[in-house]
Amino acid sequence: MNSDLAGPTLSAFAARWRFLVVRGVAALLFGFLAIFAPRASLLALVILWGAYALVDGVFNVILAIRGARTGMNRGWLLFQGLVSVAAGVITFLWPGITALALLTVIAVWAVLTGVAEIAFAIRLRHVIRGEWLLAASGVVSIVFGVLLAAFPGAGALALAWMIGVYAVVFGALLVGFGFRIHRWGEGTAASGGTPSHA
């Protein structure tokens, strides 16, 4: 077990499980919008994604900063947050760049986010069961990013569906992980603060 994730450290992360759930719900909403309104212009869809990335990144940065106060190792979380904020800012500062360039930004964001999530899940694997949900969301992000980079010229409808399905799967995994770590926190509190794999 990694000592920097044991006891009060991971408990501090578990106490902020709502951040994960909110991120997941935001991704779900964005995904459903992309799936059920796929005929919106690709540029509009990507700008909507930029808003999501910005909010997602801010949530991660806040969580990382709050975790720092408890001594929690938050490097990957901060990295993921900063990448998301940067991607969102790029989307809004250069709205006139081509849709292809914006799709490239999304692809790079997805891969970097996936790597960060897998790295964080690996750190959690000896502390809590259910970390596979976070790892799975990382794998989904990487696969999505690679597919987006490989087929940037796909039709707008196909891209909307691809982005939407990714967001729904990613969001569902995050919500699941958020509730899982919440249950871990409750179990730890009930057992007097002793870390558990429950």
Q: In the numeric block, which tokens belong to residue 65?
A: 């900063």
For position 4, what pLDDT does the model report? 46
For position 160, what pLDDT does the model report? 78
Within 8 A by CB and 6+ apart from 120, the residues are 76, 77, 80, 134
Successive 10-residue mean pLDDT values, the chain, 198 residues: 44 68 87 79 73 84 70 69 87 71 83 86 70 84 90 73 88 87 71 50
For position 188, what pLDDT does the model report? 63
For position 2, what pLDDT does the model report? 44
Q: In the numeric block, which tokens belong to residue 73?
A: 């190792």
For position 68, what pLDDT does the model report? 58
Is the distance from CB of 146 to CB of 111 less than 8 angstroms?
Answer: yes
Neighbours of 197 (CB within 10 A): 12
Is the distance from CB of 18 to CB of 68 less than 8 angstroms?
Answer: no
For position 106, what pLDDT does the model report? 83
What is the phi-psi region of residue 92: left when phi exceeds 0, alpha when psi lies from -120 to 50, beta otherwise?
A: alpha
Closest CA to 134 of 52, 31, 53, 14: 14
| Cα–Cα distance, 160 to 24 (Å, whole number) | 19
| Cα–Cα distance, 137 to 22 (Å, whole number) | 15
Closest CA to 188 of 1, 20, 66, 13: 13
Q: Is 105 exposed, middle or buried (0-12, 13-18, 19+ CB in 10 A)?
A: buried
Is the distance from CB of 133 to CB of 164 less than 8 angstroms?
Answer: no
For position 1, what pLDDT does the model report? 39
For position 5, what pLDDT does the model report? 43
For position 131, what pLDDT does the model report? 66
**Residue-range domain boundaries for the chain:** 3-190
* Helices and strands in the chain: count of H runs, count of E runs: 7, 0
For position 119, what pLDDT does the model report? 82
